Structure 1
Amino acid sequence: MQRPLVTLMLSVLVALVVGALAAAVAAEQTLTPAAVPSSFGHYQPPPTFTEQVTTTQYLPLRDGTRLAVLVARPARDGKPVDGRFPVIWHHSLSATQQDGDGVGPRKGGFASMPMLTAYGYVVVQVARRGNGQSFGTMRGYHDRNEAHDAYELIEWLARQPWSSGAIGQYGCSNTGDAAMHAMTVNAPHLKAVFAGCFSWNKYDAMRRGGIFAQWGTGPTRTIEQDMAVPPVAGDEEKVLLRQAAEEHMRGVPLFELWKSLPYRDSFAPSVQSTFWAEGSASSYKPQILQGGAALYIVGGWRDELRDQGLIARMNIPGARILIGDWLHCENEGFALVEEAHRFFDRHLKQIDTGIDRDPPIHYFVTGADEWRATSDWPLPQAPQVPFALAKGGLVQGAARGAALRQTFDVDYTVQPCAEAGSGSRVQPCHLSGQGLSLAGKVLAAPVEVTGHGLADLWIAADTPDANLFLLLEDVAPDGTIKVVTEGRLKASLRKLDQAPWALPGLPWHRAFAADVQPLQPGVPVRLQFDLLPTSYVFAKGHRIQFTFTGSDHRERARDPQAQPARITLISDKAHPSAVSLPIASER
């Protein structure tokens, strides 16, 4: 029996509507650059208050340790405004935002968060125990003492007469880690965290590839440096400040702690802990998920911790991330405070700011110079394309070309180039004549690399161990070489294992002491590791180049077992070596 005409037409109409909705959803999931919501980075509601007043005090914790607290409140006519406001706080290295506290002088970003008092927030700075004006002694870096301090502080902030009970937290670098650890203790009133450039797993971040070659090992300050910070109100003679500074001196130097922990399961007698696990947010993933605080991550394509933010987002459902072409904790050309404001308004004031309708990932494409948005990482449209190593250079595609067996010298006196920078901004750089460089053909069209490169290499050396560093480089027609990203691995820790958390298709090394596999003289071994992620366009006429070295100017406390005079890179039928890059197709 035939259906009535009206019923048939209705069915067709429903099918068209459903199809249109499906197409709209698909379009939203693969936004073109022009479709990025205009409120991203441009959230500018009018300010409510034009003044701010601050007070400082000491707050005693459960064990009697006194922490220094600075409270900034909205004000009118020089007096704090009555009422209850959401609170945003910062677990920092001082209560007065000194340049050495981890966010530095970058006033356009994290250091400018106190300006949010103009929009009806109370903004609080707290010096972590053993730092700044606070009393106490640091036990490592981001230990459970600090995490439990955060619980007390969050709940104290929620009880104050000027607090609405909705608490947010922010931070970058060491304070970004502190914010992540605050998420591990399930403080009932913590609702939202805005954190940048932190470690998801301390070992993978600070001994990446099993190699101690990092720019930072935390604060190590003298009494004189501690005495230079402004004191808490009532301590103008700095009597309490000196007492606190003297307590700080009993802390365990972070450089010595990390140097004593070569393996992921190493035990540190100085803190009586397998500290890589204790100090890693990844160890407390179940607690983070149970707590349910919203998370917004900030990263930079020229920051050593950029992979950590992407991995954290994969493991914390609902987390958001933005990554710019920035160095550590920087945000040049982007209104970071406005984006944080949009996030906090949504989760602390329950205002519809449009953020929930945005894809969770925003990233800047260097070379194309545009922001893009996506719901998926790795990008579905950026499959891994292998570049085989061959005599004479790189061959795109499956392993082929003339066999390669080339030995290069390792220079342990290598110094950074002028553009490497210093401190938290130190970068890898190409040093002419160092290591072994293999370049591909001149590009006939631009090539976009967005994601994590993967190295699958064979090497040999005459020492029990060797460190291999790999640089992905852009060679311009005039011969200028720019480092795009990097990867590395200690050969003795090459054994692969299954990571206990989600990864974006990356090889993972457990790196326990029991996993050590010493090299045999001249015997090839296979090294598989990832490159730090990037989003970069190689221009037409340029060439893609890989440079391999056995040392890095950032290395600290070198392992004598991993100092061969020469390393041999091998690529033949029995030992095919290649590096794969995630090459994005046209959208």
Structure 2
Amino acid sequence: MVRPLHVGAAAAALAAVAVTATMLAVPQDEPARPEASAASFGDYRPPPEFTEHVTESLYLPMRDGTRLAVRLDRPAVDGQPAPGPFPVLWHHSLTIDSEAENGTGPREGGFSAMPALAEHGYVVAQVARRGNGQSFGLRRGYNDRIEAHDAYEVTEWLATQPWSTGKVGIYGCSNTGDAAMHALTVRPPHLAAAFAGCFSWDKYDAWRVGGIPAQWGVGPARTVEQDMENTPVQGDEDKALLHQAALEHQASPPLAEMWRGMPYRDSLSPLVQSRFWSEGSVGSYPDQIRASGVPVYVVGGWRDELRGQGVATLLTVPGSRLVIGPWEHCENAGFALAEEAHRFFDQHLKGIDTGLDAEPRIHYATPDSAVPDATGLQWRTADTWPPAGVSAAPTPLGGDGVLGSDAPGARTFTVGADVTCPDSGSGPFAQPCHVPDAGTSWTGPVLDADTELTGSPVADLQVRVDRPDAHVFAYLEDVAPDGTVSVITEGRLRASLRAEHPAPYTLPEGVPWHRAYEQDVAPLAPGEVARLRFGLLPTSYVVRAGHRIQVSVTGADHRESGPLPDAQGARIEVLTDPARPSLVHLPIAG
């Protein structure tokens, strides 16, 4: 079926593109979802209102004439778009296709399943960000202010279409989670809810944790040939407009070069003439986000490096919510994420009481050494982070290598910069691992009872290095009875950026913050013992009886993308004595 789509004057002005619609009917033998007995967390499954939807695509011009590609999934009856009006959900993506790199996650379907909410009376839009996918223009940076103002225009356009109720929600994960949060910073009047996962509240603190470059965040960098593999906007079947857009993309500044050129938080990028760590950070606009009043639902994972950014958002944005489980980046194994998003949007875009407001702000699933994966999730709740009942236990790192011992002494190791970790994954999915003999460890006694660690650990180390600088990594680990070591959480800090300052956003109590301006650089003097205090990423984990808790420190990690040039062979000492103890603050629950 092909028919014209009447989507308003802005789209109609694009006479070069014939906008069409294709019916995608739900199989008639698919069983209807059972009606939920109660609206509650993890159990929201109202029956669908429609059994089919139509997909339409078009180009939408922005204020400067740049055309953004838009795909619409609309509820339909008998192959025709239902008149509505309906609330609208949209995704500020990298293409109008549902691809893994668009923040939908490569292995789990939570975010990629959002277009199916058309069955429940929503119009769902995918919009390719300028300089990406089928859209025209340049990608100036990554989540810059131009993109944010595009989000304002797209939101308001969606709100004023004849099939729209004027209530608009936005969603996304990873780079599109950032994009969703940036939409809040420009305060579109019709934006009513945001559901965002695994994004960066502060780009420097996410991309250069502790001043150390991460192993991800260098894309997208696509060739013309790769861009031409995208599905063209309807009416551009010969891909002439897609080719023109692909050629324009090639003038975008390379992100990897931009990140490398900004080693400090206040660095100016000559590629975009901006102190881009600030411009591209959602956390640079907290007043605007709070003033918007838009409800925010954050998704995170205990195996995702951005989970601390989600906790910072929860603590900084009043009324925001968080769900976090034992997942990697943008995953949701064992949890009906799209259904929870549906519940959230029904609450705020349709005015349905889904029970959301009666629940605590945080739902978290605590894995353990007996059940380390996402099967059989047991959910707990809290109203803040860390949850009530958690106490920070300062635990000494003894000179004898025993966790909890106050024996004076030093633990010394030599840095090997060629650390490898087989089968750990890549990019944002790469996991930390224990590498025997890569550093030094402190091992606690065998536990006679299960011990839950829930909160944000802090390392407080006294360190001496035979070089002016060092990358220092700390790992909190679980040692099984057979000697297998599993990393629970980790943190890192560049020694020359150890100076502490008040954080510009809310962190869990006791977690230090490092400004990392160029003027803060303080190389280590020969023989100097420097105090390095840094947070480890938030965690929740049960160490079973019979296991042991361990802390390890190294000078290199397989995930760092910018090791120090003289790291190989560096000699690092971690010292402790009564006057200057090295400690780790363990968040003991209960």
Query: Structure 1 length as normaliser, TM-score?
Result: 0.91
**Contact 1:213–1:552 (CA<8 Å) still a contact in 2?**
no
Residue deviations 1:87-111, cap 9 Å, x none?
0000000011123322244453000
The alpha carbon displacement at 1:49 in A equals 0.2
The aligned counterpart of 2:160 is 159
**Contact 1:388–1:578 (CA<8 Å) still a contact in 2?**
yes
The aligned counterpart of 2:587 is 582
1:337-376 to 2 correspondences below 5 Å: 337-367=338-368, 369-376=377-384
Q: Does 1:391 align with 2:399?
A: yes
**Partner SS, residue 179 of structure 2:** helix
The aligned counterpart of 1:246 is 247
Q: In structure 2, do the counterparts of structure 1 residues 509 and 423 end up closer, same or farther at CA, with 3 Å as the change threshold?
A: closer
CA distance in 1, matches of 2:59, 2:463: 57
For structure 1, the residue ranges without an aligned partner over 5 or more in a row are: 1-36
The aligned counterpart of 1:149 is 150
Q: Which amino acid aligns with 2:416?
A: D
**Contact 1:103–1:172 (CA<8 Å) still a contact in 2?**
yes
**Contact 2:315–2:384 (CA<8 Å) still a contact in 1?**
no
Residue deviations 1:8-56, cap 9 Å, x none?
xxxxxxxxxxxxxxxxxxxxxxxxxxxxx97101101111100010100
1:178-217 to 2 correspondences below 5 Å: 178-217=179-218
Q: Does 1:459 align with 2:460?
A: no
Residue deviations 1:416-461, cap 9 Å, x none?
222x112331101111221111111111111100010011101111
Moved beyond 3 Å, runs of 4+: 104-107, 561-564
**Contact 1:360–1:374 (CA<8 Å) still a contact in 2?**
yes
CA distance in 1, matches of 2:451, 2:573: 30
The aligned counterpart of 2:57 is 56
The aligned counterpart of 2:440 is 436
Q: In structure 2, do the counterparts of structure 1 residues 563 and 209 end up closer, same or farther at CA, with 3 Å as the change threshold?
A: farther
The aligned counterpart of 2:256 is 255
Q: Which amino acid aligns with 1:382?
A: V
CA distance in 1, matches of 2:263, 2:411: 30
The aligned counterpart of 2:450 is 446
CA distance in 2, matches of 1:104, 1:227: 22
Aligned match for 1:573, one of 555, 563, 578: 578
The aligned counterpart of 2:518 is 513
The alpha carbon displacement at 1:561 in A equals 6.1
Q: Does 1:555 align with 2:556?
A: no
For structure 2, the residue ranges without an aligned partner over 5 or more in a row are: 1-37, 372-376
**Partner SS, residue 433 of structure 2:** coil
**Contact 2:416–2:568 (CA<8 Å) still a contact in 1?**
no
Identity of aligned residues (%): 59
1:464-543 to 2 correspondences below 5 Å: 464-505=468-509, 506-543=511-548
1:65-80 to 2 correspondences below 5 Å: 65-80=66-81
Q: Which amino acid aligns with 1:423?
A: G
Q: Which amino acid aligns with 1:404?
A: G
- Which one has the bigger helix percentage? 1
**Partner SS, residue 580 of structure 1:** strand
The alpha carbon displacement at 1:475 in A equals 0.4
**Contact 1:207–1:214 (CA<8 Å) still a contact in 2?**
no
**Partner SS, residue 110 of structure 1:** coil
**Contact 2:92–2:172 (CA<8 Å) still a contact in 1?**
yes
**Contact 2:473–2:493 (CA<8 Å) still a contact in 1?**
yes
CA distance in 2, matches of 1:107, 1:446: 31
Residue deviations 1:512-531, cap 9 Å, x none?
11111110122110000000
Q: Does 1:379 align with 2:384?
A: no
Residue deviations 1:145-198, cap 9 Å, x none?
000000000001011111110000000000000000000001000000000000
CA distance in 2, matches of 1:158, 1:548: 52
CA distance in 1, matches of 2:441, 2:447: 17
The alpha carbon displacement at 1:572 in A equals 1.2
CA distance in 1, matches of 2:566, 2:579: 27
**Contact 2:103–2:111 (CA<8 Å) still a contact in 1?**
no
CA distance in 2, matches of 1:149, 1:454: 40
Q: In structure 2, do the counterparts of structure 1 residues 38 and 417 end up closer, same or farther at CA, with 3 Å as the change threshold?
A: farther
**Partner SS, residue 333 of structure 1:** coil
**Contact 1:462–1:564 (CA<8 Å) still a contact in 2?**
no
The aligned counterpart of 2:7 is none
Aligned match for 2:428, one of 395, 420, 424: 424
The alpha carbon displacement at 1:395 in A equals 4.1
The aligned counterpart of 1:112 is 113
**Contact 1:324–1:331 (CA<8 Å) still a contact in 2?**
yes
**Partner SS, residue 146 of structure 2:** helix
**Contact 1:103–1:111 (CA<8 Å) still a contact in 2?**
yes
CA distance in 2, matches of 1:142, 1:580: 35
1:14-25 to 2 correspondences below 5 Å: none
Residue deviations 1:451-472, cap 9 Å, x none?
1001110111121111100111
The aligned counterpart of 2:419 is 414
Q: Which amino acid aligns with 2:389?
A: Q
CA distance in 2, matches of 1:522, 1:223: 54
The alpha carbon displacement at 1:134 in A equals 0.4
CA distance in 2, matches of 1:534, 1:415: 24
The aligned counterpart of 1:33 is none
The aligned counterpart of 2:280 is 279
Q: Which amino acid aligns with 1:460?
A: R
Q: Does 1:88 align with 2:89?
A: yes
CA distance in 1, matches of 2:162, 2:107: 32
The aligned counterpart of 2:3 is none
CA distance in 2, matches of 1:139, 1:365: 40
The alpha carbon displacement at 1:130 in A equals 0.6
CA distance in 2, matches of 1:217, 1:342: 34
The aligned counterpart of 2:30 is none
Residue deviations 1:379-410, cap 9 Å, x none?
221100122011333343xxx53212122011
The aligned counterpart of 1:5 is none
CA distance in 1, matches of 2:534, 2:100: 35
Residue deviations 1:462-488, cap 9 Å, x none?
211111001111100001111111001
**Contact 2:498–2:532 (CA<8 Å) still a contact in 1?**
yes
Residue deviations 1:542-584, cap 9 Å, x none?
0111111101111213333666622111111232100011000
The aligned counterpart of 1:8 is none
**Contact 2:413–2:440 (CA<8 Å) still a contact in 1?**
yes
The alpha carbon displacement at 1:253 in A equals 1.3
**Partner SS, residue 302 of structure 1:** coil
The aligned counterpart of 1:11 is none
RMSD over aligned CA atoms reads 1.3
**Partner SS, residue 291 of structure 2:** helix
**Contact 1:210–1:263 (CA<8 Å) still a contact in 2?**
yes
